């Protein structure tokens, strides 16, 4: 979450504005004190930053399956978040949005799917060795 907000803050700083990063009940937020020229890019960069970082980390932890599943799940969800946040900005930013609840459900489903895939591959690899 913090890396996601650092992505927004970096773009805000790139545009020459001050920013603050905070945490509330809905998660993290970045307040940029200025008029961002390209809102689409600003919204896109948060999810992109955290998806890239999580993707790189997953390359180093792939041998430790539970950790890899967790980090890969974060990478996938941040990629989805990047798309949703940049394409549906008004709905994403509204206080009565169902999107945060939807991300909780998606996290659960992606985590279950990733665990199932890893377990099936392990079972297949074990059966192939005999």
> Which pLDDT value is given to residue 34?
93
> Is 42's pLDDT higher than 90?
yes
pTM above 0.85, yes or no: no
Look-up of token digits 């799940």: 73
Contact (CB, 8 A) for 89 and 43: yes
**Which class for 3: exposed (0-12), middle (13-18), buried (19 or more C-beta within 10 A)?**
middle
Q: Please write the tens of the pLDDT for every residue from 61-120.
A: 988 888 999 999 999 999 998 999 888 878 777 766 677 778 778 888 888 988 888 888
> Which pLDDT value is given to residue 130?
52
**Which class for 127: exposed (0-12), middle (13-18), buried (19 or more C-beta within 10 A)?**
exposed
């Amino acid at each position: 979450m913090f890396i996601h907000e650092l992505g927004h803050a970096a773009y805000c700083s790139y545009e020459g504005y001050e920013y603050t990063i905070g945490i509330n009940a809905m998660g993290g937020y970045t307040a940029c004190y200025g008029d961002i020229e390209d809102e689409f890019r600003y919204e896109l960069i948060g999810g992109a930053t955290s998806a890239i970082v999580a993707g790189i980390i997953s390359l180093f932890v792939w041998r430790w399956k539970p950790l890899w599943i967790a980090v890969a799940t974060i990478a996938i969800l941040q990629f989805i978040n990047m798309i949703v946040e940049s394409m549906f900005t008004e709905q994403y930013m509204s206080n009565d949005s169902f999107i945060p609840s939807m991300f909780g459900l998606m996290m659960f489903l992606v985590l279950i799917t990733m665990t199932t895939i890893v377990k099936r591959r392990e079972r297949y690899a074990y059966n192939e060795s005999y």
